[in-house]
Structure 1
Amino acid sequence: MSGTAAFRAEWTKLRTDPVNLWLLLGTVLVTLAVSAGASLTARCDGPGCGGDPTRLGLTGFMAGQVVAAVLGVLAAGNEYGTGMMHTTLAAIPRRGTVLRAKAAVLTAVLLPTGAAGALGSLLIGGAVQPGRGFTAAHGHQPLSLADGPVLRAAVGSVLYLALVGLLALGVAFVVRSSAAAVGIVLGLLFFLPVLGQVLADPDWQRLLQQVAPMPAGLAVQTTTDLARLPIGPWEGLGVLALWALAALASGRVLLRVRDA
């Protein structure tokens, strides 16, 4: 089966399973809800509120990534759990093609999902904070995607969500268990930042912020005080991309050498 046919097959699997559609919808709704809650909680009416209003408005991606990770895990984990992976590999003997097709379909659905979450979050944040935040940090002008840092934060957040999904997909191919894969991915995303807070050595704290997938990747949302970041916005997203690439590469190797 060609790569195009494999992509169509994986697309059919995804769109015909209602669980996947609910997960995509849930990713958007969770992202919007948490972003709106963060903006409302931090709302103030004075001009000196400070902070990074763009990053605040995109806070929901910290929660939405959990749903996206589950979607990425289930893209492979469900087939291992039900035994359907045997059928998939029988229809597509080239195992690398299977992984690439799943990754391509997952990316194709997470990018517009992330875009909806980012645009909605910024619109909500601007609406609920008319007196500060979304105007104060940008010269009292409405938050706009025409503003370079805001656009970078929005686009970066979309890419961040897709990369988390690909990281989860790769881990699922490695461990072949949905429950274990979800636990590993959430551990990578949330445990390493917590560990960084526990460590007393500031050098170790900074190192973990530079190499851990979530704090490094979410640096792309920052639009103020960039010099104080442990890692640059795009460099941080690159760290997450390396994590996802390593997971997918490991999954591909193990998919080739192990029985389904």
Structure 2
Amino acid sequence: MTSSPSDRPVLRLALAAEWTKFRTDATQARLLLGLVLLTVAVGAATVATTTCPAPGCGVDAPRTALTGVLVGQVAAVVLGVLTAGNEYHTGMIRTTLAAVPRRSAVLAAKALVLSAAVLVAGALAVAGSLLAARLLLPGNGPTPAHGYPALSLADGPTLRAAAGSVLYLLLVALLGLGAVTATRSSAAATGAVLGLLFVLPALAAVVADPDWQRHLRQVAPMPAGLAVQATLDTARLPIGPWAGLGVLALWAAAALALGRTVLHARDA
């Protein structure tokens, strides 16, 4: 979705229009707030029930703190879907494409506005989760005496888990945008993306062959993408932290590419 110099005024026009639509839609604001609150609340609840009675108890503190991303991603997916889905539902997409005939510019503008919003909300959600964990974990046993220093972004693995979690939320939102642009149905796109995120890991859990289990976890977008949160025993993961996030990025890029193709091939 790159643009030539002659496309830039069109992209600026599309960006202004998409930003106006996004910021004046109360549903989008509620979803962003829900993403933050759900992520922090679930993360804090998980931390509050995590105990570490002795050294070497195996608690991955950053990953535990960021457990809420599992739930917050649902809000991110729905947000991505509704960024274009509402216009398909109401027929306003015809007006949008009439105002900006370059369809790639429309999709790029939607992706950029969505990305900015999710990056801000995701950063707030992750920061809130880590702060809650920093306050709650010491009372449950993960203390410096047990080999667990206080959570800090100055620690490289913790910073990677935090930044990767923000990018994870961004990528699942873009996956939703690509899916709805391809299907033109909010319900179908939401079902497809959530099914992709949650059904493949469930399938991996019931497969008896350990090699197939590992392969499924390497290609499934959720377990692969969330590998970026791991800070302990990363060598034993089915896929490395950044490589796993790369797998999710490929899923999102494929969805957007498919959406772009459908947007150009079919009438509004």
Among residues 77, 87, 96, which one is paired with 1:79 in the alignment? 87
Q: Residue in 2 aligned with 1:143?
A: 151
The amino acid across from 1:54 in the alignment is P
How far the C-alpha of 1:5 sits from its partner, in A, is 1.4
Unaligned runs of 5+ in 1: none
The alpha-carbon deviation at position 131 of structure 1 amounts to 4.4
TM-aligned CA distance change 1:237 to 1:214, over 3 Å: same
- The alpha-carbon distance between structure 1 residues 156 and 81, as it changes in their structure 2 partners (threshold 3 A), is same
**8 A Cα contact 1:54 1:122, kept in partner:** yes
Name the aligned partner's letter for residue 217 of structure 1: G
- How does the TM-score come out when normalised to structure 2? 0.94
Structure 1 contact 46–132 (Cα < 8 Å) conserved: no
1:226 paired with 2:234, answer: yes
Is contact 2:52–2:59 with CA below 8 Å preserved after alignment?
Answer: no
Please point out which of 4, 26, 29 is paired with 1:21: 29
Asked whether the equivalents of residues 15 and 110 of structure 2 are also in contact (C-alpha less than 8 Å), the reply is yes
Taking only aligned residues, the RMSD between alpha carbons, in angstroms, comes to: 1.5
Partner residue of 1:165? 173
**What's the secondary structure of 2:70's corresponding residue?**
helix
Aligned to 1:42: 50
Structure 1, residues 220-247: CA drift from partner, whole Å, max 9, x if none?
Answer: 0000001100000000000000000000
How many residue pairs end up in the alignment? 260
Spell out, residue by residue over 1:51-73, the C-alpha distance to the aligned partner (whole angstroms, 9 max, x if none): 21110100000000000100000
* 1:136–1:197 distance in 2 versus 1, CA, 3 Å: farther
What's the TM-score once normalised by structure 1's chain length? 0.97
Aligned equivalents of 2:80, 2:216: Cα separation in 1: 24
> What fraction of aligned residue pairs are identical, expressed as a percent?
64
Q: Could you tell me how far 1:44 is from its partner in structure 2?
A: 3.9
Separation in 2, partners of 1:223, 1:190? 23
Between the aligned partners of 1:90 and 1:204, the Cα distance in structure 2 is 48
Give the secondary structure class of the aligned counterpart of 1:230. coil
Does 2:119 correspond to 1:115?
no
Q: Name 1:5's counterpart in structure 2.
A: 13
Structure 2 contact 81–180 (Cα < 8 Å) conserved = yes
